[in-house]
Amino acid sequence: DALYKFTHDSVSKSRPMLNMGIGMNTGPLVLGTMGGIERMQCSVLGDTVNLASRIEQLTKVYGAHFLIGERTYLALKNPAAFSIRMVDYVAVKGKESAVKLYEVLDAEKPDRRAAKEATKAQLNAALDAYFLRNFSGAFNILSEAMKQDPVDPVLSIFASRSKQYMEKAPPDDWRGYEKLKVK
């Protein structure tokens, strides 16, 4: 909401529009200060930080302003206090284990938030079907949802994957997640 107001104010003053995505992850990390008297730098390192960086990059793929990893979602004391939807289950580049990704819809512009919330139940039903390998069922649900919100990348990503798996079934050891090849 604050980012939306800032951007709206900036555009109204003929300044460039700020369009950014935030990726958040929860877990252990190493925090340290390096350097000398002339130049010091504080930095964080670790798998938690690397995954947060990958999640931030994925905001562009999913058309999201704010994505959180599964550990952040599970750490929320009251997730119902936020408008959140699951958007994927992926193994990011360089990792073998998969993580669920969630979009915090509270960070969206009001019109996009409303559109995504209107198809949230359909997306959940499609994901349930998809992960149970019912790709035609998932595709049908997603096709209907895309009529309501044709610009939501998450709907089209899963519709495309479902169609692909309808044409050529995934291997027997498929666990429902995609291995991403890009950072």
pLDDT of amino acid 37 = 82
pLDDT of amino acid 183 = 64
Q: Phi first, then psi: what are they for 108, rounded to 5°?
A: -85, 160
Confidence bin at 174 (pLDDT 50/70/90): very high
Indicate if the pLDDT at residue 146 is higher than 90: yes
Q: What pLDDT digit, counting tens, does each position of 46-89 carry?
A: 788 888 999 999 999 999 999 999 999 999 999 999 999 999 99
pLDDT of amino acid 1 = 55
The 3-state secondary structure of 28-76 reads CCEEEEEECCCCEEEEEECHHHHHHHHHHHHHHHHCCCEEEEHHHHHHC
Confidence bin at 182 (pLDDT 50/70/90): low
**Stated pTM of the model:** 0.86
Give the helix/strand (H/E) hosting 22.
strand 22-24
Q: What pLDDT digit, counting tens, does each position of 91-142 carry?
A: 987 777 899 999 999 999 899 999 999 999 999 999 999 999 999 999 999 9
Q: How far apart are CA 108 and CA 88, in angstroms?
A: 18
Select the more confidently predicted residue: 91 or 17: 91
Confidence bin at 18 (pLDDT 50/70/90): low
Contact in structure between 148 and 123 (CB atoms under 8 Å):
no
Contact in structure between 67 and 104 (CB atoms under 8 Å):
yes
Query: DSSP secondary-structure letter at 132?
Result: T
pLDDT of amino acid 147 = 98
Per-residue pLDDT averaged across 132-157, rounded?
98
pLDDT of amino acid 3 = 61
pLDDT of amino acid 87 = 97
Q: How far apart are CA 3 and CA 65, in angstroms?
A: 9
